[in-house]
Amino acid sequence: MSKFNEELKLLLRSRYAIIYIPTLEEERVEMVIKQAAKDQGNRGVYIWDFV
């Protein structure tokens, strides 16, 4: 498991209301976030795209 995945899962378990992730690989990160949320009890994921 990558360091990003481990840190994301820790943030999700910590129940932060907002997690800000700047990236150029938007689709890849969204997929990882959705999978991590699903693994932790099918939690909701809301994405805001700031263009």
DSSP 2-50: -HHHHHHHHHHHTT-S------S-HHHHHHHHHHHHHHTTS--------
Does residue 8 lie within any of the structural domains?
Answer: yes
**Number of structural domains found in the chain:** 1
Residues 19-47: pLDDT tens digits? 888 889 999 999 998 898 888 888 888 88
Q: Which residues of 30-49 are buried (b: 16+ CB within 10 A; e: fewer)?
A: eebbeebbeeeeeeeeeeee
Residues 3-15: pLDDT tens digits? 998 998 898 889 8
Of the candidates 36, 38, 39, 33, the one whose C-alpha atom is nearest the C-alpha of residue 21 is 33
Does residue 51 lie within any of the structural domains?
Answer: no
Does residue 48 lie within any of the structural domains?
Answer: no
Q: Please give the residue range of the domain that contains residue 35.
A: 3-39
Does residue 28 lie within any of the structural domains?
Answer: yes
Secondary structure (3-state) at 35: helix
Does residue 50 lie within any of the structural domains?
Answer: no
Total-model pTM: 0.70
